[in-house]
Structure 1
């Protein structure tokens, strides 16, 4: 399976962000990508009100992405915001492709490092997996990567690939934490991890505020935790061919999913 990770820096103009998706998806598809992954908050960046821009997955943004995926014959995974019932929004990954449209609402909200995502974003409750070319792909968003059980549950249900879309907050040691966590989730699950983050706006000359933006360093990691390919801090596209048989072989060699045992509670 040929995959593309599109590392971009989104802003506060939905139409301009969609135009970036259209241009980069067409370019990636022309290079043979079957799966094209975008960062969290691609539709609209953090740092401004989200309630006014949230759309259902079948709204204008989602419909445009679905039409683009149909046109190109690819699957596109992209971060957007959808309305929640309580006036907040969901931090949603839209997955659109030949198999139909699915979505995942971020479960673990980024209430950390002085930022409180839960103030404006409602937590999702359900895991989500999609299939493509005989492979099962689990979906996750940013802060989810710090919670191994989500990835293990998806892998135990058959996911050989995990997608992590992120708008990773900058700060001391944050790039190192990003790589460490992404590689750990690959080792936890003996599966591929496709980790696609927002580019670092500082590289583009943009001064970031207090909201999470991005640090770049998108990467593809093997089932053994090896970084197969990575990007730097700026806007770019990473194209990688995955050997799905490698994940199956890794699970035979290191059967951590089969060897799991239930843990009791102490008295």
Structure 2
């Protein structure tokens, strides 16, 4: 499987963001990936603290999802991207990842479990947390686990996804810049790959607010493709044979003595 991770920055203009998504999927599709992964919050950027993203939120049959479906069908690729989805609380939507197949069918929706109440920010003031349950989807022969940004700091979620069959962890993000934050981002991405002997594909927003550094990492912690700070995309090929070989030589998943069942 070939995975493209896209690096860009969304804005508060939803129409402009839909046009951006259409263009970026088309550009990435030229390299013939099977799946294109866009960052978190591609439908609209996060509101500044004290304001709300509620007015921007849409249902799963809204314009943003329609844009993803159209792009997926037009280019014959699966697409993963982040949006704000309406919830039962009209003031606090979900932070949702949408996965759409190359045929335009909705493969899955993951509502972010761990809200970013850290480093002086409180995401839970604006958003509703999703149910504590791993979400995995199937694209071709690969089982893919979905997680978002701050989820990366909670290894129990990645382990639950792998226990549910995930061979690739897809991590769209809007990882805020700050002292040591870039170091945390790259270290945690590598750790999640190594400890779970799986691939990790991370697509991050960049620009003035966010760190960029999108990348695809293999089960040994090797970066197969990586972006710096600029807009664009990178593509990597993941291999079932490589995954099986690493897990044979390093059977850490089999050697576990602790087992945690998600609540």
- TM-score under structure 1 length normalisation: 0.91
- Pairing partner for 1:95 from 95, 99, 112: 99
| Distance (whole Å) between structure 1 residues aligned to residue 259 and residue 98 of structure 2 | 34
| Aligned equivalent of 1:243, options 228, 239, 248 | 239
Give the match for residue 114 of structure 1.
120
Indicate the SS of the match to 1:122: coil
Q: Find runs of 4+ consecutive structure 1 residues off by over 4 angstroms.
A: none
Instruction: Name the structure 2 match of 1:227.
Output: 223
- TM-fit CA distance, 1:263: 6.2
* Alpha-carbon distance between aligned partners in 2 of 1:40 and 1:31, rounded to the nearest angstrom: 22
Matched residue of 2:147: which SS?
strand
- Per the TM alignment, residue 98 of structure 1 is displaced from its structure 2 partner at its CA by 3.5
Q: Deviations over 1:181-200 (max 9, x none)?
A: 0000001110000011101x
> Residue 219 of structure 2 aligns to a residue in which SS?
coil
CA contact (8 A) 2:134 2:164 kept: no
Structure 1 unmatched ranges of 5 or more: 203-212
CA–CA distance in 2 between the matches of 1:31 and 1:227?
19
Instruction: Give the distance between the partners of 1:180 and 1:131, measured in 2 at CA.
Output: 27
- Deviation readout 1:217-267 (Å, 9 max, x if unpaired): 011111011122211112111111222221121112111222222369xxx
- Partner residue in 2 for 1:70: 73
Kindly report the root-mean-square deviation, in angstroms, between the aligned alpha carbons of the 2 structures: 1.4
- 2:253 corresponding residue in structure 1: 257
- In structure 2, the CA distance between the partners of 1:113 and 1:222, relative to structure 1 (3 Å rule), is same
Instruction: Name which of 65, 84, 87 aligns with 2:87.
Output: 84
Q: Matches of 2:149 and 2:44 in 1, distance apart? A: 15
The C-alpha deviation readout for 1:139-194, integer Å capped at 9, x for no partner, is 00000000111111111221110001100011011111100000000011100000
Q: Secondary structure at the match of 1:121?
A: coil
Provide TM-score, normalisation by structure 2: 0.93
Tell me the secondary structure at the aligned position of residue 188 of structure 2: helix
Paired position in structure 2 for 1:4: 4
> Matches of 2:161 and 2:173 in 1, distance apart?
18
CA deviation profile, 1:71-105 (whole Å, cap 9, x unmatched): 21111000100011122110000000136311100
The total of aligned residue pairs comes to 253
**What is the rounded CA distance, in whole Å, between the counterparts of 1:2 and 1:151 in structure 2?**
21
Deviations 1:27-78 (CA, angstroms, capped at 9, x unpaired): 1112111110000011100135310010111111101211221221111000
Match in the other structure for 2:33: 33
Question: 1 CA distance for matches of 2:115 and 2:252?
Answer: 28
Distance 1:56 1:188 in 2: 36
- 1:128 alignment counterpart: 135
Pair 1:216-2:212 in alignment: yes
